[in-house]
Structures are given as C-alpha cells and as structure tokens.
Amino acid sequence: MKSSTINKADLMRLAGFRQHTAMMVIRQAKQIMVERGYSFYNNRRLGDVPLSVVEEIIGCSLLQEDPDNGEN
C-alpha cells in the first residue's frame, strides 16, 4: 500500500538525504501546506507531510508502483 504522507526518516531512507536536508524539505513542505490553507501544519511537533508536496519540491517520484504485485 502506498502511503500518502512522508516524514524525515522516510526521506532519509528512500531518497538518501542527510538529516539536515530531509528536515529542510519537510519544513518547506509544511510551509507550502500552510500557504495552501492547512494551518494545522503550522505545528512544530507535526512531522508528516503529504508525499505529493515533497515530490513537487524535489522534482521526482519517491515511491514507485511494484510491477509484479502478485496478481495474475
């Protein structure tokens, strides 16, 4: 199942970002979400952001569909 949110640890694992870079991407994604009207992202403790926003920021897809998902 594809998750619709991502956090700093996921970015470090999936994209190979270092800790500071992953934090900055998450911070930028939260700022974008606040600008789009989702004020609850203006919270220091919230660390999960929409995957689609992170993909917009970095310019590529992080999660790829599995072509062999077991269905025959």
> pLDDT digit string (tens) for 3-49?
799 999 999 999 999 999 999 999 999 999 999 999 999 999 999 99
Question: Hey, is 68 helix, strand or coil?
Answer: coil
In Å, how far are 3, 5, 62 from 69, measured between CA atoms? 16, 21, 18
Q: 71 pLDDT band (50/70/90 cuts)?
A: low
| CA dist., res. 54 & res. 72, Å (int) | 33
**pTM of the entire predicted model:** 0.83
DSSP string for residues in 20-48: HHHHHHHHHHHHHHHHTT-GGG--TT---
* Rg of the Cα atoms in the chain: 13
